[in-house]
Amino acid sequence: MTNDLTPVLIGVGQVTDKGRDLDDLPGQIGLMQWAAERAFDDAGLDRSKTADLDEILVVKAFRESTPNSPASLALRLGAAKAATGLMPDGGNGPQYLVNRTAEKIARGETRFVLLAGAEAKDSVRRLKKADRPIDWAEAPDSDPTMIAEPLQMASGYERAHGIWAPAHVYPMFENAYRHRLGRSIADHQMAMGRLFAHLSEVAAETPGAWFPIPRTAEEIATPTPDNRMVGWPYTKLMNAFNHVDQSAAILMTSVAGAREMGVPEDRWVYLHGCADANEPVMVSERGDYATCPAIRVMGQKALGMAGVDQSAIDLFDLYSCFPSAVAIARDELGIPEDDARPLSVTGGLPYHGGAGNNFVMNSIACMVDKVRATPGSKGMVTANGGFLTKHAAGIYSTDPSPGHDGAGWAREDPATYQAELDALPVPPVVKVAEGDAVVETYTVVFDRDGAPRAGFIMGRLGDGADAMAPRFIAHAVDDADLLHQMTREDFIGHTGTVTNIDRINIMRF
């Protein structure tokens, strides 16, 4: 018999709002309100039940439209008694909140919770283009309660060398991953195209996708004036797209709460397994750039809690900001590259569109719909914040998990396995680099007109023989011919010299 405090997801709602008249834009809070109301409808609950919410937790938007968005949403919904909180930046946020909320429900610390988030960046873009004011501020004028400690995702050293924008960092993971596989540049470009072509096909069949357009591998992989190179080897169609007006919301309660509210059991979805794990915050302090131990451990813990391995999962939605995020997660979870199971139920951030930090709320909502459509199936969602930094996973099913019977729902404290990850060796980092050096990984960043702008390098001092040789960040010497050559020839393992000029490391070959 399932324990009365076992957590369940009972309602989900999604909104994609595109092309609305500029005089009728809902803004961030309006989008969340609509998604929340749809979640109540989905659960079969009267919208007046918002007054019974114990908590409203909001995932921070890239552009917060009002001082305290969780409290503003509570006012809109008439949820006067709800405690409110804001999850800081990070794409792991939605799954992290599901995991955290499930744990609190199972402990009896909360009962009825709304999770929500939205982005209105398309509206902002359109208003700016029309030279219209943007003022969506509303009561209350107060600071939100933060759910977790905000993290600075790049040091001053990294920012000084350009290592802070996701579109410039993830390509460095990609090149390290390609090099580890031993693939040629041309072969890997098409492999990335095939991987994301599958995502575009899912988006084409997904209600609410921003770009419901199936694309070929060649179309995605080939640079053209309409598909320019951004951070090599990524074309524009390989980059997350956040300029959307999208929202999603989730309602959670306990089995007892769902029964008391009269939510039909065919709406209940159980969290069979979950986990959270992190890599070192600073990119320069990673063990390497072709693997992600945090995803591997997170996957093991979530699957272990659910009592299954990855082969028992019917559906996946792997976080998909860039190809390396999908491919590395797939490998760390043990999913074969030629596995027939789709890796997304949404179509991913480039094609479904990503509401900033809240994209995975859409992933979870889609997964809930999918497992309900096939009762007894299992779906796994992974979330990623920062630069393959902060990770969360959840495994969903309409069936109660065999491990969560009368003993109650419980998960392993993430701090126990995080300690193991924190103990993994990492090379020392030097800020002022001088001497012989070797390229560990790199990317070439392009301007909008297609010209190479800069080469960013993660390197090691010495000849590459010492696995713990000091690491440094550098720019390639400013030479257009060299930068073009770096996109045609694998420079990982190339040796040269590095010097520090005006606090910037420069590498020459």
**Domain residue spans in the chain?**
7-151+246-400+412-422, 435-508
Question: CB–CB of 171/284 below 8 Å?
Answer: no
Residue 355: predicted pLDDT = 81
pLDDT for residue 1: 58
pLDDT < 70 stretches in the chain: 1, 403-407
Q: What is the gyration radius of the CA atoms in the chain, in angstroms?
A: 23
At residue 402, the pLDDT reads: 73
CA 30 to chain centre: 23
**Is CATH 2.40.50.840 what the domain over 435-508 is classified as, yes or no?**
yes
Q: Give the model's pLDDT for residue 207.
A: 96
Q: So what's the pLDDT on residue 340?
A: 96
Q: Would you state the pLDDT for residue 404? A: 63
User: What pLDDT was estimated at residue 293?
Assistant: 98
Residue with tokens 């995932």: 59
* pLDDT at 406 (0 to 100): 55
- What's the CATH superfamily of 7-151+246-400+412-422? Thiolase/Chalcone synthase (3.40.47.10)
The residues, any chain, with a CB within 8 Å of residue 412's CB and separated by 6 or more, are 275, 301, 305
Q: Compute the distance between CA of residue 312 and CA of residue 265 in angstroms, rounded to an integer.
A: 23
Contact 406, 400 (CB under 8 A): no
Tokens of 436: 């012989």
